[in-house]
Structure 1
């Protein structure tokens, strides 16, 4: 399939303030987890954030004992209680929210995320790549890599282990995404040297640079049923360098960064000869990685 050159799209009106919430959900304590999420969202909104990203499975916690527990804690989207409360917060505060939620669709389970805004529910993303014991509880996502049009810009979502696959970010970029929001529950990686940045941060920086695409990662902290989580949330500019973070490894905190999408689009042009998206050799490889999706001209 031949594809037109990548288009920059219309400029943004002003820089967008993004907030990534680093927090510690507690397994099974949905009411408390959601209430604390909303308090963090309120804080972020009071500091001028227009887009707030929460961790993976922020409403339920992560380490399920078995599939039965996961089924009991999961909820339909967008009509479940957690999603409704978070959507109401987005409407009340006039912000956009990306939040990781365990989704139940009949007897199927998905590690999912919602996008909600001032006008209500916008969309759902289902994690494509399952990590370790997630395979005992969840089905792989079946919604592809959707990119959602909003007044802020075009928003894509990835969840945790999705970030290990460059295809996730490339498909978002080729659909003219302005940012990828990443709810995540990063854990220690085998053989990780103590004096080196987290592998997850390195991968996010590389993906941002190679796609000219800002990436906002909200991780959790704490130890849940013996599983430690590493914090280090961060917000990366489209040039690949962190705008905020990495955060601490063990504290609840909120990272803030202002991003001007018109500047990010311009930075994809590396010099007079090179553009990170237009330079792709689509005569050699499928520009949309075999998905058959059409690139956006926006």
Structure 2
């Protein structure tokens, strides 16, 4: 019997700086109800799905900065998502800014959670590969994730949920092959990947022009090389003067894009995903145990001087 997950990728259009959580959550709920109408098991939302992409501003006021973060999940304003999910029997993944107090110190992370069909949180991920800068740059727009977030400290775990093995990552993580490979080595069958990717911040035009191509390239290669579904969910459109590239898509273990958004606004795409589709790739082309030879990579790099020799004990 085939193992399938019907997944809805819920792209979001722009969120304004002063939009309230209630306003934004109402949009998420509308997309959830639409996904339920398509009999989705799971709906995936983007990175920082509850707020605008606030790292574009060098925010100095502590209270204003804190207002973009969640201190509990669910909280009073996000609880309706969990209640609606439980009522309709649909799971979800959600990206948000997380603020925790540890040993009297504020810690800030770019996080995502996985919630099952009962409204219970079954997994949390914190973004590892933070792009941008920690200092304000002389450029049209800022990308200050290194200023406002710590590097994630939870690794790249996977969870047995929805009848399969699921993992999560966030935005810039998608550009690094080890993101997928660490989950791939754990047998991941579907990666839920939210992103906010702006252009026009001051990068060379050659980079901005290729951003849409590179966006799909890295997700497709990650899917193919690790025989996993990848659900890439974007913030899209002109948000506070900056263009977000959108291109929300669902990618099969073959590396093929099998569904993609056509707009720059709130839009849901749906795909029934056969989790066993990756099995032939894992059994043959990407049979890690049979073909992968990590010890030889180490040996070659030692001999060529690419890295210092490994210490032996």
How many residues of Structure 1 are paired with residues of Structure 2 in the alignment?
Answer: 271
Check whether the contact 1:26–1:33 (CA below 8 A) recurs between aligned residues: no
- SS of 2:131's equivalent? coil
State which of 172, 175, 180 in structure 2 corresponds to 1:169: 180
**Residue 7 (structure 1) aligns with:** none
Q: Does 1:208 align with 2:208?
A: no
**Residue 151 (structure 1) aligns with:** 162
Check whether the contact 1:212–1:276 (CA below 8 A) recurs between aligned residues: no
Structure-2 change in CA distance of 1:196 and 1:121 (3 Å): closer
Higher helix share: 2
Structure-2 change in CA distance of 1:32 and 1:56 (3 Å): same
Check whether the contact 2:253–2:277 (CA below 8 A) recurs between aligned residues: no
State which of 224, 235, 256 in structure 2 corresponds to 1:241: 256
Query: TM-score, with normalisation over the residues of structure 1?
Result: 0.84
Q: Does 1:21 align with 2:20?
A: no
Unmatched 5+ residue regions in structure 1?
1-11, 287-298
Unmatched 5+ residue regions in structure 2?
133-143, 299-313
**Residue 236 (structure 2) aligns with:** 221
**Offset at residue 193 of structure 1 (A):** 7.5
Report the structure number with the largest CA radius of gyration: 2
**Offset at residue 200 of structure 1 (A):** 0.9
**Offset at residue 251 of structure 1 (A):** 3.1
**Residue 113 (structure 1) aligns with:** 112
**Residue 129 (structure 2) aligns with:** 129
Structure-2 change in CA distance of 1:78 and 1:252 (3 Å): closer
RMSD, aligned α-carbons: 2.2
State which of 23, 48, 52 in structure 2 corresponds to 1:32: 23
Rounded to whole Å, the distance in 1 between the matches of 2:71 and 2:286 is 42
Q: Does 1:94 align with 2:109?
A: no
Query: TM-score, with normalisation over the residues of structure 2?
Result: 0.80
Check whether the contact 1:169–1:207 (CA below 8 A) recurs between aligned residues: yes
Q: Which shifted more, 24-33 or 111-120?
A: 24-33
Q: Does 1:56 align with 2:70?
A: no
Rounded to whole Å, the distance in 1 between the matches of 2:234 and 2:186 is 25
**Offset at residue 83 of structure 1 (A):** 4.5
Structure-2 change in CA distance of 1:56 and 1:82 (3 Å): farther
Structure-2 change in CA distance of 1:88 and 1:192 (3 Å): same
Structure-2 change in CA distance of 1:137 and 1:93 (3 Å): same
Flag as ranges the 4+ runs of structure 1 deviating above 4 A.
192-197
Rounded to whole Å, the distance in 1 between the matches of 2:280 and 2:72 is 36
**Offset at residue 28 of structure 1 (A):** 4.1
**Offset at residue 249 of structure 1 (A):** 5.1
